[in-house]
Structures are given as structure tokens and as C-alpha cells.
Amino acid sequence: NAGVMQNPRHLVRRRGQEARLRCSPMKGHSHVYWYRQLPEEGLKFMVYLQKENIIDESGMPKERFSAEFPKEGPSILRIQQVVRGDSAAYFCASGPGLAGYEQYFGPGTRLTVT
């Protein structure tokens, strides 16, 4: 059973460009979570999605950031008009969303904005 997959693993964007980060959950998992880790800082929750629904986006910046988890295909975290402060590691986790089950994390996408 493949684990959580994220791509790309490394992404370099110039200021003002768009960044699209993809996450494929573990087989059988219908819940996806995105977290961000700024350099030398802790992990911060961003958004929690189920298929075609955003359940909790309380950690998402109000502008430029969006996330989706379509019925088919991976979850996408989209950052428009990137700025240097967006440089971070973005981790995706998946879980079955059932009581008592843990989340499994992917290897992360390291975004560098130049």
C-alpha cells in the first residue's frame, strides 16, 4: 500500500508566479490535511478537506491560497502570486477520518520563492 505521495518534492518559483502542490492520499483515505512549516518553525495546520468539501480552512491565509480535493485525482494546494514569505515546506497528511485513526504524512514539498 503506497503511502501519501506529494509532488513535486521541490518547487522554485519567482515572485508573482503561481505554485501548485499536489497530494495523493493513501489508498482508502478520504480525508486530507495540509500543514506548512516555515524555516526553523513548527508545523502549522492550514486546511482539512474531504472529497469535494472543505471541512476546516481556519489555518489558510485569507488571500492567494486555495485548496481543493476533487472527486477524482489528487488534492491541490494552490498559491497565487507567491511572495518570499511563502517559502516553506508544505506537508500533506491523509486519514480515514474515523474515530481513533492516525494521520499519515507525505514527504513534503519544499517551495522556494526567489
Contacting positions for another protein (CB under 8 A): 4, 31, 33, 35, 42-45, 48, 56, 59, 89, 91, 93, 95, 97-108
- For the CB of residue 81, give the shortest distance to another protein in the complex, in Å: 26
- For the CB of residue 29, give the shortest distance to another protein in the complex, in Å: 11
- For the CB of residue 107, give the shortest distance to another protein in the complex, in Å: 5
Q: What DSSP designation does 58 have?
A: T
Strand order in the sheet with 65-68: 5-7, 19-24, 75-79, 65-68
- As a whole number of angstroms, the longest Cα–Cα distance in the chain is 42
Nearer to another protein, 64 or 105 (CB): 105
Whole-angstrom distance, CA of residue 5 vs CA of residue 59: 22
